[in-house]
Amino acid sequence: MSHDPLRFAIFGTGFWSRYQLAAWQELPGAECVALYNRTRSKADELAREFGIAAVYDDPSALLAAEKLDFVDIISDARTHARFTRLAADAGLDVVCQKPLAASLEDARAMADYCRRAGVRLLVHENWRWQSPLRALKAALDSGAIGVPFRGRIQYANDFPVFDNQPALRELEQFVLTDIGSHILDVARFLFGDATRLYCETQQVTEGIRGEDVATVMMTMGGGMSVVCEMSYASQLEHGRFPETYVTVEGSDGSVELGPDYWVRVTNGGRTDSKRVPPPTYAWADPAYGLVHSSIVDCNADILRALRGGAPCETSADDNLRTVELYYRAYESAAARQAISIQD
């Protein structure tokens, strides 16, 4: 196996690309050599900041001119299918930002297209790589609380997310695709696949097109009940953006991830507490530090897979199960009915 860095290009230079690129630069073994954005000036700005030599406003021209090993797609979800097909036709592996596609059908088609082209499609689903969530998962896997029977995952705050990402105001499907793609993936990471779900959504904030509150109840992992609460309209004392809180009850105890990264395991009449803060990086936005740090570990997992190591946790085949959950959640909310999830 070659030790030369894998050469890649980024498609899309919006808000998240700066942090994605900085996270890649934390890892030996990958080198960004080109940027694409339809508005070239935005790509020029990012290229100057990170010392990237080549900038394009035509994705086909980029793929024709550059020698690459993979592409990293960080553009609007509505463009993911097109860019994935272009990269696959060029014989390149694809890393794609979440949500994977603008519909479940497009997501499945992207995975099929890459499979037929003989290239890998890996999803940049970083939320599960947050250090406090990994610690909670380790506690569950240790058997310390016995067999889990009920779980609650809460992501609820009033962070002004529309200030730095104004395009989110125009999404007809907002909170379930934006944060639900993360939270429902965390549920799968912790508890396994869902067999049934029920969802209700609400629009609380004025001047937006989509829902900003969603509650999803699922049957998961052999029969346990899991509730996922997602909101950008909640004014809570403990609503610290971008923290996710989790409570899991088991036959022998419970484990909780609470504010300020505290993980508490209760069993046998005692509680053991441990604070698990994320690593810090100079390039990370302090308001997003927990999320930005998880990008590094997610990229490291992707890079291992691209270099022929262990399979990626968030391959397309795995992430399609998460994609199905958030689009089925919309169906459930519209019908006000529970929906069975088929294997």
> What's the structural domain count of the chain?
2
CB-based contacts of 63: which residues, under 8 Å, 6+ apart?
9, 71, 86, 87, 90, 92
Same domain flag for 282 and 138: yes
Provide the mean pLDDT of the chain.
96
Q: Tell me: do 98 and 161 sit in the same domain.
A: no
| Same domain membership, residue 261 and residue 181 | yes
Residue 80 lies in a domain: yes
Q: Assess whether 135 and 120 both reside in one domain.
A: no
The whole-angstrom separation of Cα 33 and Cα 53 is: 7
Angle formed by the axes of helices 80-89 and 104-117, nearest 10° = 10
pLDDT in tens, 191-211: 999 999 999 999 999 999 999
Strand spans (E) along 100-147: 121-124
Cα 217 to its chain centre, rounded Å, is 20
* Domain end call among 81, 102, 124: 124
Burial class (CB in 10 A: 0-12, 13-18, 19+), 246: buried
pLDDT above 90: residue 342: no
* Contact criterion met (CB below 8 Å) for 181 and 326: yes
Residue 300 inside a domain? The answer is no
Alpha-carbon distance of 251 to 254, in angstroms, equals: 8
Question: Is 42 in the same domain as 147?
Answer: no
Query: pTM for the complete prediction?
Result: 0.96
Among residues 81, 103, 124, which one ends one of the domains?
A: 124
Convert the pLDDT of each residue in 78-97 to its tens digit. 999 999 999 999 999 999 99
Are both 210 and 101 inside the same structural domain? no
The CATH number given to whatever domain includes residue 243 is: 3.30.360.10
**Is the per-residue pLDDT at 278 higher than 70?**
yes
166 and 101 part of one domain? no
In a domain, 189, yes or no: yes
Of 257, 248, 255, 253, which is closest to residue 267 (Cα–Cα)?
Answer: 253
In the chain, what is the straight-line distance between the N-terminal and C-terminal CA atoms, in Å? 36
Does residue 242 have a cis peptide bond before it, meaning omega lies within 30 degrees of 0? yes
Domain limits for position 79: 6-124
Token pair 């300020």: residue: 260
252 and 167 together in one domain: yes
Co-location of 155 and 251 in the same domain: yes
Q: Which of 124, 154, 172 is the last residue of a domain?
A: 124
Select the more confidently predicted residue: 220 or 164: 220
